[in-house]
Amino acid sequence: MTIHERGRVTAILGPTNTGKTHYAIERMLAHRTGVIGLPLRLLAREVYDRIVRARGPSVVALVTGEERIVPERVQYWVATTEAMPDIAADFVAIDEIQLCADPERGHVFTDRLLKMRGLHETLFLGSDTMRPAIASLIPGVQFQRRDRLSQLTWSGSKKLSRMPARSAIVGFSVDDVYAMAELIRRQKGGCAVVMGALSPRTRNAQVAMYQAGEVDYLVATDAIGMGLNLDIRHVAFSATHKFDGRRVRPLFPHEMGQIAGRAGRHTESGTFGVTGEAEILDEGLIDAIENHRFAPIQRLTWRNSDLQFGTMDRLVESLEAPSGHALLGKGRDADDVQALKTLRELPEIRDRVRGGQDVRLLWDVCRVPDFRGISPAEHTSLLARIYGFLQDGAIPSDWLGNAIKRIDRTHGDIDAISKRLAYIRTWTYVAQRSGWVQDESHWRGETRAVEDRLSDALHAALTQRFVDRRTSVLLRRLKQKESLVAEVNDKGEVTVEGEFAGRLEGFRFRPDQTGSADEARMLNRASYEALRPEFHLRADRFYNAPDTELDYTEQGGLMWGASAVGKLVRGSDALHPGVEVFVDEEAGPEIAEKVKRRLQHFIDRKVAALFEPLLTLQKDEALTGLARGFAFRLVESLGILPRDGVAHEVKELDQDARGALRKHGVRFGQFTIFMPALLKPAPTRLRLVLWSLAEGLDTFPESPPPGLVTIPHIADVPEQHYTLSGYRPAGDRAIRIDMLERLADLLRTQDTRGGFEANPDMLSITGMTLEQFSRLMEGLGYAAEKGERAKVKAAEAPVAVPAPEGEASDAPMTEEESVLAAETRARWEAEQAEKRRLEAEAAGEPVEEAAPEMEVFYTFRWAPKSRPNRRPQGDGQGRRGGPRGDAAQDGPREPRAERQDRGERPAQGDRQGRPEGGRPNRERREDRNHGEGGKPRGKDNFKKGGKPQHNKPATFSSRPEKKADPDSPFAILAALKDKK
């Protein structure tokens, strides 16, 4: 084998990050013309941009498989190793020459190593492991070793959450890269992503984001091991195995050294280690990586480049020809050879291939890279379609346009955009081939534009998914120790440096919970630094705010507008609650104390205003003795006392004591002792809160809606909650205390022993139907007997009858007259019905008897529940037959003291109605033994002690028990109707 040498050949070998590529660029620009081959399209673009900045775009060409920029006066060619032009140039350089050992691409690098030479100078750049191979294959080569200017040291294993800034985490699958990137975003604010499958434009954008410091972390595949000069301080391996397209194998030591060597830059030292589930490296491997001492490469991948195109079989044979050199071995079949062998077996291809020209064209088609990576069969099918088009002249524009149109969509997730980007790279490569498309310039521009759009969309998708720009910006500003500008709008939304950071609720900052806990802590640190002035301004506004802007909730919360700024806590007593403020610790104790003072002033004034009668009662020093003790009980219960709980104390109060208490608005009701002013909605709402605080409840009872006379009675709710709300439970409803006392006034006028019916006033007070009222009365201790009767229609206006001489014509009807009028009306209606019936029978028509309209009524009687261990006190009847006693369960009788205050004579059995010594007054006893007009009562109507005896409940009838007065106008009216 003949190796042609031209000019000086130098191999510059050594570890990574020694500036070898930069040196090669300087040497090329020192010559008039030059060619440099690079392993990655991304790196080629980076070198192209650097030379363009130095020499201008008119003399620099960029040639890759998918991109071709060739000006007319080109002097310097920058290309991928596969696309290096075979031209005579003064200078030639090949980077990453150790890739000669790569099983897939190695034959290309080996071919360039053996054949590409510069007229004046040739440089091979790479690892020290290539030194023996180069020395054996290229006589006269000069070697230069470049050592690192900084140290590379092992740092052990670290969790991702503890990864230092400016780190690169390396994975070997797309799934691993995405998973680590997501975790970094949650814990560190975001990262850049670099993979070999990304387009150069996308990778450049991601790298630029990392280099600019927008993110401090880089998650990448082993693609960063080749030529990417990044500001990396630490490299962490998440795995030590990779899938090389055929099998999962351990990483070679020199591969790990190549990747780890990216840590450190120029004189700045770097570290490397492992993370995740990767095992700790053994000491020998660590030492080899730190000192860059690896076993030399013993075998280079080679493939014959002197091809025979007579037939497809001869082409395959020439590709598989041996090298004849011990260092040059045949690698595994690359994708192009596999595609050729597959197409050779297809009948439609064999029929179309007739000569060497067709074989050459077929080989060119087979060299189209499988960017899509779907499957070998799918790729081969596409190549066969392209070959068919090319044999007919060129790929049809309409077919190519439809294929590109299906790809030109920038919506979707990362995977969808990545697939479209891989597809368009195929057509970009096709458009770069001379003569394959009809309008080359158009399709090259079209495919490049689509690739750029998809690349930008992919970069945006990656950034949106794996970068939290808000946190990254804040951390970068903090790292630079710049003052941060925070703004709070009228909705409480906090923005720091234009990035939404959270919401300021009162004096507590609520960070935006879109990330992890670690991210929230970092955001808090940045936000609080900027919110310090805002806390002081807000505290001043709050302290000077009027009470109308403040309020309390039924659960004891203290509000400033819509923001919670504190809560009430238990104080020295129920009427003096304490305050606990909601102020972030970062705001400082001065802000917290200021807010606390303002809230304490607010609640103290609120209690003083709503409970003024109670506080005045508490401070009245004129109250002495029993009255002062009773006032203490009333204050302790916040203005409401059920009477049955203090019946003994009430009996012991004399009239002077009661009068003193009444001056403060205390009302001694039959069921409750209360202050009517404290039953209003506002005091009721506050009373429930104050009582709940004093009792230490976790959940406070809520006050009923204002304006309701009755509310549902829920069995699970304690009765004391209803009392504090101003209601008394009775049956399935609870009635408001003041309305219950009004009802009790009406009930005292009824015969509760004999039975009575509810009148409209009773129903009006309660706002209930008769059925609901019956259940309420049962809850108050009455028995409700349901009945049904024919409804008596209201009597029409009676016929005007001249009043007897000397009587007023507008005198009201007596009860007897009213009853007589009703009977007259009923009799007249019966006569009319009988008359209609007779007329219908005479006409032969069927007679329908109208059913009388019925109505439901209730009879209520006092039926208290038995009270064991209570001394009998007579039959409990008062003057009107109602129950007696001070407690509510003793019946609806008004307390004795209340009646005395109105000037009424005490009822029978009251001790205060007796003279001193306890003997009954003879005059009153005689009055009790006589009926109306002084006539003595019959013996049957009395029992011992002179009290009335009723053996049976009283019954009522619509017919009077005595005859009507014959001189009554109603009697005259009835007589006139009888005559008819």
Give the tokens for residue 202. Answer: 């996308």
pLDDT tens by residue, 23-62 = 999 999 999 999 999 998 878 888 999 999 999 999 999 9
Question: Which residue do the tokens 């004795």 mark?
Answer: 896
Q: In terms of Cα–Cα distance, which of 731, 730, 758, 762 is closest to 745?
A: 762
Is pLDDT at 504 greater than 90 in this prediction?
no
Question: Which residues are CB-contacts of 746 (< 8 A; sequence separation ≥ 6)?
Answer: 759, 761, 762, 765
Q: CA-CA distance, 128 to 293, in Å (whole number)?
A: 8
Q: Does the pTM of the predicted model rise above 0.85?
A: no
| CB atoms near residue 756 (< 10 Å) | 21
Q: Are 236 and 275 in contact (CB under 8 A)?
A: yes
Q: CA-CA distance, 822 to 843, in Å (whole number)?
A: 32
Using CB atoms within 10 Å of the CB of residue 92, give its burial: 0 to 12 exposed, 13 to 18 middle, 19+ buried.
buried
Looking at residue 937, its pLDDT comes to 42
pLDDT tens by residue, 948-975 = 444 444 443 334 444 445 555 455 555 5
Q: Are 527 and 485 in contact (CB under 8 A)?
A: no
Q: What percent of the chain has pLDDT over 90?
A: 48
Q: Are 538 and 509 in contact (CB under 8 A)?
A: no
Q: CA-CA distance, 126 to 107, in Å (whole number)?
A: 16
The average pLDDT across 858-867 equals 79
| CB atoms near residue 549 (< 10 Å) | 12
| CB atoms near residue 659 (< 10 Å) | 13
State the first-to-last Cα distance of the chain, in angstroms, to the nearest integer: 153
What is the C-alpha R_g of the chain?
53
CA distances from 448 to 66, 390, 427, 639 (A): 9, 22, 9, 85
Instruction: Provide the pairing of β-strand 91-94 with 34-38.
Output: parallel
Q: What percent of the chain has pLDDT over 70?
A: 80
Comparing 504 with 487, which gets the higher pLDDT?
504
Give the tokens for residue 258. Answer: 């190549």
Q: In terms of Cα–Cα distance, which of 218, 203, 226, 262 is closest to 40?
A: 226
According to the 3-state scheme, what is the secondary structure of 879-940?
Answer: CCCCCCCCCHHHCCCCCHHHHHHCCCCCCCCCHHHCCCCCCCCHHHHHHHCECHHHCECCHH
CA distances from 297 to 141, 225, 718 (A): 17, 18, 89
Is pLDDT at 203 greater than 90 in this prediction?
no
Q: CA-CA distance, 892 to 643, in Å (whole number)?
A: 12
- 710 SS3 class: strand
Max mean pLDDT range (694-703, 875-884, 905-914) = 694-703
pLDDT tens by residue, 281-336 = 999 999 999 988 899 998 999 999 899 999 999 999 999 999 888 899 988 888 89
Half-sphere exposure at residue 34, Cβ-oriented, CA atoms within 13 angstroms: 25
- Measured in residues, the chain has a length of 980
pLDDT range class, residue 791, cuts 50, 70, 90:
confident
Lowest mean pLDDT among 46-60, 461-475, 893-907: 893-907
Looking at residue 275, its pLDDT comes to 94
Comparing 943 with 897, which gets the higher pLDDT?
897
Looking at residue 4, its pLDDT comes to 42
For 3-16, give the DSSP string: ----SEEEEEE--S
pLDDT tens by residue, 146-167 = 887 788 999 999 998 889 989 9
For 540-604, give the DSSP string: HHHHTS-GGGEEE-TTSEEEETTEEEEEEEEEEETTEEEEEE-B-GGG-HHHHHHHHHHHHHHHH
Comparing 267 with 235, which gets the higher pLDDT?
235
CA distances from 824 to 810, 816, 830, 977 (A): 20, 12, 10, 9
Lowest mean pLDDT among 190-194, 268-272, 739-743, 829-833: 829-833
According to the 3-state scheme, what is the secondary structure of 359-409?
Answer: HHHHHHHHCCCCCCCCCHHHHHHHHHHHHHHHHCCCECHHHHHHHHHHHCC
pLDDT range class, residue 264, cuts 50, 70, 90:
confident
Question: Mean pLDDT of all residues in the chain?
Answer: 82
For 479-493, give the DSSP string: HTTPPPPEEE-TT-E
Q: CA-CA distance, 353 to 619, in Å (whole number)?
A: 117
Lowest mean pLDDT among 105-114, 444-453, 485-494, 883-892: 883-892
CA distances from 265 to 38, 147, 602, 757, 780 (A): 21, 13, 64, 102, 92
Q: In terms of Cα–Cα distance, which of 653, 606, 656, 655 is closest to 634?
A: 653
pLDDT range class, residue 923, cuts 50, 70, 90:
very low
Looking at residue 945, its pLDDT comes to 37
pLDDT tens by residue, 706-746 = 989 999 999 889 999 999 999 999 989 999 999 999 999 99
Q: CA-CA distance, 69 to 425, in Å (whole number)?
A: 16
Q: In terms of Cα–Cα distance, which of 552, 533, 530 is closest to 541?
A: 533
Lowest mean pLDDT among 366-375, 394-403, 463-472, 523-532: 523-532
Looking at residue 592, its pLDDT comes to 94
Is pLDDT at 272 greater than 70 in this prediction?
yes
Looking at residue 481, its pLDDT comes to 53
Question: Which residues are CB-contacts of 121 (< 8 A; sequence separation ≥ 6)?
Answer: 7, 8, 10, 27, 31, 90, 91, 92
The average pLDDT across 530-552 equals 90
Looking at residue 514, its pLDDT comes to 62
Comparing 966 with 76, which gets the higher pLDDT?
76
- 504 SS3 class: strand
pLDDT tens by residue, 624-645 = 889 999 999 999 999 999 998 8
Q: CA-CA distance, 573 to 120, in Å (whole number)?
A: 101
Is pLDDT at 824 greater than 60 in this prediction?
yes
Q: CA-CA distance, 893 to 278, in Å (whole number)?
A: 90
DSSP lists the bridge partners of residue 60 as 76
Question: Which residue do the tokens 């910006």 mark?
Answer: 473
The average pLDDT across 238-255 equals 86
Q: Are 262 and 16 in contact (CB under 8 A)?
A: yes
Looking at residue 821, its pLDDT comes to 62
* Helices 283-291 + 253-260 axis angle, to 10: 50
Q: CA-CA distance, 149 to 143, in Å (whole number)?
A: 19
